Amino acid sequence: MNQKRIFKGLLLTLVLGCLFFQSCKSKKKIPKDSPAFTVIQTAKSYYGTPYKYGGTTRSGMDCSALVFHAYYAAGINLPRMSADQSKVGKRIKLQEVRPGDLLFFATGRRKNQVSHSGIVTEVSKENVRFIHASTSLGVSEDYMSNSYWKKAFLFATRILE
């Protein structure tokens, strides 16, 4: 019984430590008047929207619709499908991304074909956070350090200069 308490205490300390360090890492603020701020805030306004293949509304949407709507709010009209969206903008390395940039993934059977997209929301020394429409969670955020996304990642593009 005593060992269980010690283990729970260590686990709690570890969790709180991780939360503390996550909240303390430096993140560059995005100016509120920038197009990137508009793109990210619009995308975040869709949090919790369920995933629906081909969906374009708050009752259900897919990843490319999220990207389309977020950029449209900033005055940029992108194609509707992820594969077509991936052809717009300048390709950049993952180490060069900044908030508002797009990430493209191959989540289907074809390993080099774009089938998923997301918008970078935060960049730190350790990680890249992005928002997307997940088939399991709907519109949510995830990290590039997640082994699934790391393996599926193809490339990033920058549309906003």
Burial class (CB in 10 A: 0-12, 13-18, 19+), 82: buried
Secondary structure (3-state) at 92: strand
Is residue 132 among the annotated active site residues? yes
63-73 and 35-44 helices cross at what angle (nearest 10)?
140
The one catalytic residue among 18, 24, 69, 132: 132
Cα separation, 142 vs 53, whole angstroms: 19
> Which has the closest alpha carbon to 66: 134, 114, 159?
134
Is residue 18 part of the annotated active site? The answer reads: no
Using the structure block, give the residue that is written with the tokens 């995830």: 142
116 is catalytic: yes
Task: State the catalytic residues.
Answer: 63, 116, 132
